[in-house]
Structure 1
Amino acid sequence: MEPVVFVAIIAGLILLLLIVGAPLKPIRYVGQMVIKLVIGAVFLFFLNTLGNQVGIHVPINFVTSAIAGVLGIPGVAALAAIDYWVI
């Protein structure tokens, strides 16, 4: 294969990735947020399962799942503390 053809193929692939990759970035962020919401809902499910003995019940909805998913275990602990002491 001649070097000119090889460089043209590589340049074409880079151009294709630049054109196609730009619209895919926001979709990637939305997908990551959906995954975090699902993980937050699973965290809250386990909190409700284990916290049932102590009287802690945090409802699983969009806001609490987002807090638990984005903040992780400290967010779940904060929601449990709010439920236990405030509500």
Structure 2
Amino acid sequence: MAGQWLFWGAVGLVALFILAQLGVSPGAVIWRAVRAAALGSLLVLCGNWVGQFVHLHLPLNPVTVFTAGLLGVPGWAAMLVLHTWVLPAA
């Protein structure tokens, strides 16, 4: 129960921070989001292209794109490891 309150409190603080940043400089926040989405899409697509030879694949969805875009190659690699361990191939 306390873990849920902590999680939702953290989500609320992040949302409040994003709203505050949008109030100060909306163009910069939107530009960062677009840049992260473009970089994340590129990372996921290139990773899937290279991974097809060894049967590694990440789904192309907003969560993986923004995670890869914000965290870069280490974030992409972490998602690949988690995807391999949590959802093994059938």
Q: d(CA) in 1 for partners of 2:51 and 2:79?
A: 12
TM-score by length of 1: 0.68
Post-superposition shift, 1:38?
A: 0.9
Q: d(CA) in 1 for partners of 2:74 and 2:58?
A: 14
> Aligned AA for 1:59?
P
Q: Which residue of 2 aligns with 1:62?
A: 62
**Between the two proteins, what is the percent identity of the paired residues?**
32
What are the equivalent positions in structure 2 for 1:7-86 lying under 5 Å apart? 25-86=25-86
> Aligned AA for 2:65?
S
Q: d(CA) in 2 for partners of 1:83 and 1:55?
A: 12
Contact map agreement 1:43 1:68 (CA 8 A) in 2 = yes
Q: d(CA) in 2 for partners of 1:41 and 1:25?
A: 25
Greater Rg over alpha carbons, structure: 1
Matched residue SS, 1:72: helix
Ranges of 4+ aligned residues in structure 1 off by more than 2 Å: none
Q: CA RMSD in A?
A: 1.5
